Amino acid sequence: MTADELRAAYIEYFTSKGHAEISGASLIPENDPTVLFTMAGMHPLVPYILGEPHPAGTRLVDYQKCIRTGDIGDVGDPSHLTFFEMLGNWSLGDYFKREAIALSYEFLTGAGWLGLSPEILSVTVFEGDDLVPPDEESASVWRSLGIPEDRIHFLPKSDNWWSAGETGPCGPDTEMFIDTGSNRCGESCRPGCSCGKYFEIWNDVFMQYNRNADGSYEELERRCVDTGMGIERTVAVLQGKRSVYETEVFVPIVAAIEKIAGVKYGDDEKTDMSIRIVADHIRTSAFILGDDRGVTPSNVGRGYVLRRLIRRAVREGRKIGIDATFLSTPAEIVVEMYREAYPELGKNASVIAREVEAEEERFLSTLKKGEREFEKLLPNLLKNPRRVVPGRVAFRLYDTYGFPIELTEELAREHEMEVDRGGFDKAFEKHQTLSKQSAEKSFKGGLADQSEATTRLHTATHLLHKALHVVLGDHVKQMGSNITPERLRFDFAHPEKMTPQQIARVEALVNEKIAEDLPVSMKVESVDRAVEEGAFAFFNERYDEQVKVYSIGDFSKEVCGGPHVERTGVLGRFTIVKEQSSSAGVRRIRAVLDGSA
């Protein structure tokens, strides 16, 4: 079974079981300051898991593009990826453990679906602790389906528990593993062991409890189910491959890199590692650049992650003999492979090719400058009897010339020196603190953050959006937003700097609508109908058949899934703190309510 076939089969199976297929969300979370990218299939659905009704109902299924960069340094081994696809199905207060597990089991073992032998299936459930009892209910369901006791493993919270944060919804999960047949640990081996005997294929999460501020747990009245199956890993298991890089998901990308470099995958482990890094990073970069909420390489936030991916791919390409720009070729292959499942890639193909090549050229120029600067420093560095390149020197090469620390270390080794990595890390940490660069965190925020402050600011963005249309014209188009409990940031298409008079008019109009204490209402309808009625709906997103449309009196109407107040009168005074350029043709407004900065 190929990735395309698995994706289609999963959707077909769950829609046949009464689940509504919904569209996957952007890789760029809207109004979520706590994460850089969508990190899991459940991420866009957190508001609905927390209680907000979903327009499509209580049974949902989709496939979602995800990025995780926390273990980017591990990419290059046979299994780690930065970009991956996640299949998911949800029950929002509908069915619970018995039906969820039965659905998972049928899809895994059913002759018309994956057809895996039940004999190679092992599962884990929560073993319980002093506060929450063991998940005997899940274990009982597995027994009723024929899984013997010796293949049902009770594990602690570190293995079989999900929570969104220190407080709030949480609960046990049950994970499904394929026994690969290998056994390097003897009888003590169990699912979760890193030896490779057990391969996780699916996870069902049961949001059964609420964790209170005092650490106690209580049963939720509305219980939800979230499940996740990674496409790349599952396909590798189904095809009997040792690595995701041996499946059709990566083989065409690897072949293109082999051809450019004049090397053969499988001949040398160091070469293989470089090829895997290039293949993973260019696939991820293509998806970031191809997203309709567009990110381009930069020195902060998401743009920094993208720049790091492209430049690391360039460095690995140099290790296998590629000295010129080359990444646009495998990027084109990524587009062709995925354009049917993700049409935005085809639509943005020219942007992907242009930005990848431009970043490669910038980096190659950077490398030449950095190498020349290192050669200038070399005579003095060699005088040091300790044969150590000071951390501050290595950081200056990085900070001033963009020269990667890894390359400084390579050049140092060529001259039998080493770099004071601790000193470099200390200087880099200070730099990060001063520049307030974004760090990727575990997620709970954004649309999931329905605190009073965030909700007020989110509602204010609707008023701001409409006011900009009134004052500047209909060409204004929302290009992005970011909301924290302290402030809102709103990016919009506009060709020139706003005048002080225009800023004052927008601010006054928003405050006028706040003073009118307009009602905020919501209805569910098709996106076409919403647009016909004058609602804003941007980002060229693939909307579901039914969407939520929020109206603020007769002033504003917008397709949106975020939290909103009931009336504008509770917002307080709106103040535009700053108006500035964000990028070519895009302006950025920062604003606060009630003077909070």
Question: Nearest to residue 210, comparing CAs of 175, 267, 169, 241?
Answer: 169
What distance in Å separates the CA atoms of residue 64 and residue 1, rounded to the nearest whole number? 19
What distance in Å separates the CA atoms of residue 454 and residue 447, rounded to the nearest whole number? 9
- Number of Cβ within 10 Å of residue 383's Cβ equals 7
Residue 238 DSSP SS3: helix
What are the b/e assignments for 63-76, b being 16+ CB within 10 Å? bbbbbbbeebeebb
Q: Which two tokens stand for residue 423?
A: 């000193």
Tell me how far CA of residue 307 lies from CA of 26, 74, 303, in angstroms.
19, 18, 6
- Mean predicted confidence (pLDDT) in 127-143: 96
Q: Which two tokens stand for residue 159?
A: 């293995």
Q: Which two tokens stand for residue 8?
A: 């289609």
At 365, the pLDDT band (50, 70, 90 cuts) reads confident
List of residues 6+ apart from 111 with CB closer than 8 A:
none
> Strand 556-559 vs strand 547-552: parallel, antiparallel, or unpaired?
antiparallel
- Mean predicted confidence (pLDDT) in 463-470: 95
At 507, the pLDDT band (50, 70, 90 cuts) reads very high
Query: pLDDT tens digits for 294-309?
Result: 788 987 788 889 998 9
Q: In the prediction, which pLDDT does 444 show?
A: 41
C-alpha of 474 from chain center: 32
Query: pLDDT tens digits for 516-532?
Result: 999 999 988 888 888 88
CA angle 252, 255, 261 (to 5 degrees): 145
Q: In the prediction, which pLDDT does 497 show?
A: 93
- Which residue pairs from 553-560 have beta carbons closer than 8 angstroms and sit at least 24 positions apart in sequence? 553/513, 553/516, 553/518, 553/519, 555/463, 555/466, 555/513, 555/518, 556/462, 556/463, 556/465, 556/466, 556/513, 557/530, 557/533, 558/462, 558/465, 559/527, 559/530, 559/535, 560/462
- Mean predicted confidence (pLDDT) in 117-121: 94
- Mean predicted confidence (pLDDT) in 194-217: 89
Assess whether pLDDT exceeds 60 at residue 539: no
**Range from 153-162, 180-189, 407-416 carrying the lowest mean pLDDT:** 180-189
Q: Please tell me which residue, 109 or 75, carries the higher pLDDT value.
A: 109
Are 252 and 3 in contact by the 8 Å Cβ rule? The answer is no
End-to-end CA gap in the chain = 54
Are 66 and 38 in contact by the 8 Å Cβ rule? The answer is yes
Assess whether pLDDT exceeds 70 at residue 73: yes
Tell me how far CA of residue 344 lies from CA of 110, 294, 535, in angstroms.
34, 10, 22
Query: pLDDT tens digits for 256-285?
Result: 999 999 999 999 999 999 999 999 999 999
What distance in Å separates the CA atoms of residue 44 and residue 226, rounded to the nearest whole number? 12
Give 91's strand partners. Answer: 59, 225
Q: In the prediction, which pLDDT does 52 show?
A: 86
Are 159 and 193 in contact by the 8 Å Cβ rule? The answer is no
DSSP 358: H
- Number of Cβ within 10 Å of residue 228's Cβ equals 18
What distance in Å separates the CA atoms of residue 129 and residue 112, rounded to the nearest whole number? 39
Residue type, 3: A
Q: In the prediction, which pLDDT does 322 show?
A: 94
Are 178 and 116 in contact by the 8 Å Cβ rule? The answer is yes
List of residues 6+ apart from 556 with CB closer than 8 A:
462, 463, 465, 466, 513, 536, 550
Q: In the prediction, which pLDDT does 446 show?
A: 38
To which residue do tokens 């081996």 refer?
Answer: 189
At 432, the pLDDT band (50, 70, 90 cuts) reads low
Mean pLDDT of all residues belonging to the chain: 89
What distance in Å separates the CA atoms of residue 114 and residue 108, rounded to the nearest whole number? 5
What distance in Å separates the CA atoms of residue 342 and residue 27, rounded to the nearest whole number? 12
Tell me how far CA of residue 155 lies from CA of 174, 192, 236, 247, 345, in angstroms.
10, 9, 26, 32, 41
Q: In the prediction, which pLDDT does 447 show?
A: 44
Q: Length of the chain, please?
A: 597
At 541, the pLDDT band (50, 70, 90 cuts) reads low
| DSSP labels, 24-38 | PPPSS-TT-TT-SS-
Q: Please tell me which residue, 446 or 167, carries the higher pLDDT value.
A: 167
Give 218's strand partners. Answer: 210
Query: pLDDT tens digits for 551-562?
Result: 999 999 998 877
Residue 163 DSSP SS3: strand
The three-state (H, E, C) secondary structure of 473-502, written as one string: CCCCCEEEEEECCCCEEEEEECCCCCCHHH
| Predicted TM-score of the model (pTM) | 0.73
Assess whether pLDDT exceeds 60 at residue 170: yes
- Number of Cβ within 10 Å of residue 304's Cβ equals 16
Are 1 and 9 in contact by the 8 Å Cβ rule? The answer is yes
C-alpha of 246 from chain center: 24
DSSP H helical segments within 320-418, as ranges? Answer: 328-338, 343-347, 349-382, 391-401, 405-414
At 96, the pLDDT band (50, 70, 90 cuts) reads very high
Assess whether pLDDT exceeds 80 at residue 440: no
**Range from 151-155, 160-164, 551-555, 573-577 carrying the lowest mean pLDDT:** 160-164
